[in-house]
Amino acid sequence: MEAPARPLTYGRYLRVPELLNLQSCLSDAHDELQFIVVHQVFELWFKLALFELEAVREALDRDRPDLATRLLGRCTAVLRTATAAFDVLETMRPWDFLEFRSRLKPASGFQSRQFRELEFLSGLKDPRYLRSFGSDPEDSAVLRRRLEEPSVWDAFVGFLGRQGFAVDGEAPLLQALIGLVRDTGSALNQLCEALVEYDETLALWRYRHLLMVERVIGARPGTGVEDVQKALGQAGEYFTGVGYLRETLPKRCFPLLWEARTFVERE
């Protein structure tokens, strides 16, 4: 007779034992565990953000702006929650990090495949980043697919075209967006606002990341400095950790939506 199946428990449903065994420190430094946990949490939030961004793209492809707006709000909440994790990292003093930092080389957050996926899916496609993943065929294949597939911005522009807006060029698209930004309260205006809020939240994540890095390591080169140089094809002082991160701050996923605001006037 077969033994009766064990009832599902919280721990087995969430696979808590397996999850809690994924933190393997490389040193005896007290702060290494929190460093690992926070970065693993980042990756979990990125996984959810990617899942929801794919659903946003699908909703736009199905001409469902209401659903896309709601799911963009979830993506924004995910990034906002992830950004709050920097509060934990900032409890680590510079000398605490130096206890185990040398063990990390040449690994760095620059090599986060999911963050690059997030950028590509949002419309920030830079093929140079693929150079960082040449030693991992699976990661390289995933990123190449993201590079080639439509982004959320592509889906948004396609949706507007099916609604009768002129989108065959940057100038007519900008004019369409100016009209949507002015059309306060409409469903399409709310969609535009949700896109901008998501973009803003991603920019705030970058800024908090920069401040955390500067607070902890100052102007030291990042642990992955060689990888950054290989990917972006530059060298020099630019590749201090904070130097590279400062260069990423102006990135915007949907620059035309930001530009459209310049031309909004009260009637």
At 94-121, the pLDDT tens digits run 999 999 999 988 888 888 999 999 999 9
pLDDT of residue 155: 98
What are the residues whose beta carbons fall under 8 Å from the beta carbon of 114, sequence distance 6 or more? 43, 46, 47, 50
SS3 220: coil
Read off the pLDDT of residues 15-68 as tens digits, 9 standing for 90 and up. 999 999 999 999 999 999 999 999 999 999 999 999 999 999 999 999 999 999
Higher pLDDT: 17 or 237? It is 17
Is the pLDDT reported for residue 265 higher than 50? yes
Measured CA to CA, the distance from residue 119 to residue 123 in angstroms comes to 6
Segment 113-132 shows an average pLDDT of 95
Is residue 249 within 8 A of residue 207, CB to CB? The reply is yes
Average pLDDT estimate for 133-148: 93
Three-state DSSP class for residue 240: strand
Q: Where are the domains of the chain?
A: 30-263
Q: What is the mean pLDDT of residues 156-163?
A: 98
Whole-number percent of the chain with pLDDT over 70: 93
Mean of the pLDDT values across residues 152-178?
97
Q: 6 pLDDT band (50/70/90 cuts)?
A: confident
- Identify the H or E element spanning 101: none
Q: How far apart are CA 183 and CA 263, in angstroms?
A: 13
How far apart, in Å, are the Cα atoms of 90 and each of 29, 94, 168, 170? 16, 9, 46, 42
H/E stretch holding 148 reads helix 137-148
Q: How confident is the model at residue 150 (pLDDT cuts 50, 70, 90)?
A: very high
Q: Is the pLDDT of residue 156 over 70?
A: yes
Strands (E), 21-172: none
Q: What average pLDDT does range 201-212 have in this prediction?
A: 97
Quick one: average pLDDT of 172-197?
96
pLDDT at 238 exceeding the cut of 50? no
Count CB-CB contacts under 10 A for residue 33.
13
Fold classified for 30-263: Methane Monooxygenase Hydroxylase; Chain G, domain 1 (1.20.58)
